[in-house]
Chains A and B, each alone.
Chain A
């Protein structure tokens, strides 16, 4: 089955800095890669996703890149703000299964 590794487990940055979270996956058939943000006491919420036919996707201050050859994808957050503090999960799934395999999460702390 799919295995998703996520690093780092904790990331501490100053407000205004950039943050990068990296994930690798094992199943070359995976073609959908979502990122979820989980705020304290809440369920995860999708913030951005990318499919295998696209190398990069941006949405305001967040972007995701995908390298299919190396089987890794990354989340980039620019100009971080305290409200970006949360746990972020990457995931990978095969098209049609609708069952993502999640990474173990990264706790992002943005210091004002």
Chain B
């Protein structure tokens, strides 16, 4: 079955370190998204991509970057991790022309 996976599921890192969270989908969806989820804030968009080589900033993009070199993957990089980036991160994808988003299981990141 097609799916969307995230790795690692849990990560502990130190402030100042670079961290990369992986997202991989096998639906061949064009659109991919990264969100962070924090108590009291719901889901906030970090970055999104409409296809290979396309990336766009969301509402909370500072300190994060993404790259889209193929259809299946959209890795999220924290250039220099900060304690404020402790959160649960969700990747999602949707097909071209479709509104429904399919979410991965999430990565829980703790920055000490």
Would A89 and B42 be within 8 Å (CB), given that A44-B90, A99-B48 are in contact? yes
Q: Please pick, from A32, A36, A43, A99, the residue contacting B45 in the complex, using a CB distance under 8 A.
A: A99
Complex interface: chain A residues within 8 A of B33 (CB) = 99
Determine whether the beta carbon of A103 is less than 8 Å from that of B42: yes
Say if the beta carbon of B94 comes within 8 Å of chain A: yes
Of listed B33, B50, B101, B102, residue having the most chain A CB within 10 A: B101
Q: Is B1 an interface residue (CB 8 A)?
A: no
By a CB distance below 8 angstroms, the chain B residues around A41 are 105-106
**Does A76 make an interface contact (CB < 8 A)?**
no
Q: Is there an interface contact between A45 and B43, defined as CB atoms closer than 8 Å?
A: no
A102 to B40, CA, bound (A): 12
With the chains together, A6 CA to B105 CA distance in Å? 23
Which applies to chain A's interface (DSSP): helix, strand, loop or mixed? Answer: loop
- Report, as a range, how many residues of chain B touch the other chain: 20 to 34
Cα–Cα distance between A45 and B92 once the two chains are bound (Å): 10
- Does B100 count as interface, using CB distance less than 8 angstroms? yes
Contact yes or no, B100 A49, CB < 8 A: yes
User: Which A1-54 residues sit within 8 Å CB-CB of chain B?
Assistant: 1, 6, 32, 34, 36, 41-46, 49
A-chain residues with CB within 8 Å of residue B50 when the two chains form the complex: 98
Q: Whole-angstrom distance between the alpha carbons of A43 and B102 in the complex? A: 9
- CB pair B103 A44 closer than 8 Å: yes
A42: B residues at CB distance < 8 A: 105-106
Q: How far is the CB of B90 from chain A (nearest CB, A)?
A: 5
Q: Which of B44, B48, B100 contacts A34 (CB 8 A)?
A: B100
> Which of B43, B98, B100 is within 8 Å of A89, CB to CB?
B43
Contact partners of B102 in chain A: CB under 8 A: 46
Chain A nearest CB from B24 CB (Å) reads: 14
Chain A residues close to B by CB (< 8 Å): 1, 6, 32, 34, 36, 41-46, 49, 89, 93, 95, 98-100, 102-105
Q: List 18 A-B contacts (CB under 8 A).
A: A34-B100, A34-B101, A41-B105, A43-B103, A44-B103, A45-B103, A46-B102, A93-B99, A95-B99, A98-B98, A99-B45, A99-B58, A100-B99, A102-B42, A102-B43, A102-B44, A104-B40, A105-B42
